Amino acid sequence: MATVLIHFDTPGVPIVTGELPTDPQTPIQNPVATGFVTNQAFIVPAGTYCYGLQTDAAVTPLWQVVQAVDGEQTEASFRRRPA
């Protein structure tokens, strides 16, 4: 099993997953809730995941690909876009 930690300016924002979009400006189509939230580590089977955030806030990047490795913690960060 692997551990993933998604950082964001606001804790507790729901994390979604889905198919890899065609380009960085395209959000995840038909995102699926993971049941996990930002700033709290969670455990997943090893593998490759495409994660985004379920929020009305403008965030960057829109999504990230994470390679979860058995016995390791992988981290990714999202941030609010400046107004």
Count of CB atoms situated within 10 Å of the CB of 31: 19
pTM tops 0.75: yes
Q: How much is the mean pLDDT over the chain?
A: 96
Measured distance CA(25)–CA(42) in Å, rounded:
27
Report the pLDDT averaged over residues 14-33.
96
CATH number for the domain spanning 49: value is: 2.60.40
Judge contact between 48 and 3, C-beta under 8 A: no
Tally the domains of the chain. Answer: 1
Question: What is the C-alpha to C-alpha distance for residues 83 and 52, in angstroms, rounded to an integer?
Answer: 20
Give the range of the structural domain holding residue 61, as residue numbers without chain letter. Answer: 2-80
Give 34-45 as a DSSP string.
EEEETTS-EEE-
